[in-house]
Amino acid sequence: MKTTKNVLVLCTGNSCRSQIAHGWLSYFTGGTVNIYSAGIETHGVNPKAISTMAEEGIDLSNHTSNLVDEYKDIDFDFILTVCDHAAENCPVIPSKNAITIHHNFTDPSKLKGTEDEVKVAFRSTREEIKLYCKDFTKSNLTG
C-alpha cells in the first residue's frame, strides 16, 4: 500500500514556473511528499528561476529539466499544470487516480525589459506560486 503521495508539476519546458512550484512544494511538505516536475519539452532550468528562489533560501541549482515521459511509471496523486500550453497539450499520464489541477501562472521568462524589470517579474511570479503552493499543501497534502 502506497503511503507517500506523489505530485507532478507540469509546464511547457520545465524551466521556470514548474521548477519554482517544485521548490515551494518541497519546502512546504518538508520532504514528506515526492515532488516531481516535468515538461512536455525540456528547455533547461532557467538561471533566473534558480537565483530568484535562492533569495528565499530554496536551492534549485541541482534541479534538471525533465520530460514528462520519464515519469510514466509513477502513480501520481496530483498533477498540477502551471501553464495553459501544458494544460492544453498535456499527454495522457497513466496514473489511475491522479487529480489534475490547472492554474496558469505568469511566465516571467517571456518578459523583455531591463534587468530590474525582469527581476521584479520573476519575484512576482515566485510569490504567486508560493501562495498557491502553500494553499495547495494545506488543502491536499497535510493532514
Q: Where are the domains of the chain?
A: 6-134
**Inter-residue contact 53 to 35 (CB < 8 Å):** no
pLDDT in tens, 30-67: 989 999 999 988 989 999 999 999 999 999 999 999 99
pLDDT in tens, 57-82: 999 999 999 998 899 889 999 999 89
pLDDT for res 110: 87
pLDDT for res 40: 86
Is 16 an active-site residue? no
| Active-site choice (74, 90, 101, 111) | 90
Is 90 an active-site residue? yes
Give me the phi and psi of 55, to 5 degrees please.
Answer: -60, -25
Task: Output the CA–CA distances (angstroms, integers) from residue 7 to 15, 35, 42, 90, 124, in the order listed.
Answer: 17, 5, 19, 15, 24
Q: Is the pLDDT of residue 118 over 80?
A: yes
pLDDT for res 124: 97
Banded pLDDT at 2 (limits 50, 70, 90): low
| Active-site choice (7, 8, 9, 11) | 11
Is 83 an active-site residue? yes
**Inter-residue contact 21 to 37 (CB < 8 Å):** yes
pLDDT for res 90: 61
pLDDT in tens, 89-106: 666 666 678 898 999 999
The superfamily (CATH) of domain 6-134 is: Response regulator (3.40.50.2300)
Look at the alpha carbons of 118, 56, 74, 64 in this order and tell me if their dihedral is positive or negative: positive
pTM beyond cutoff 0.85: yes
| Active-site choice (35, 83, 87, 141) | 83
pLDDT for res 91: 61
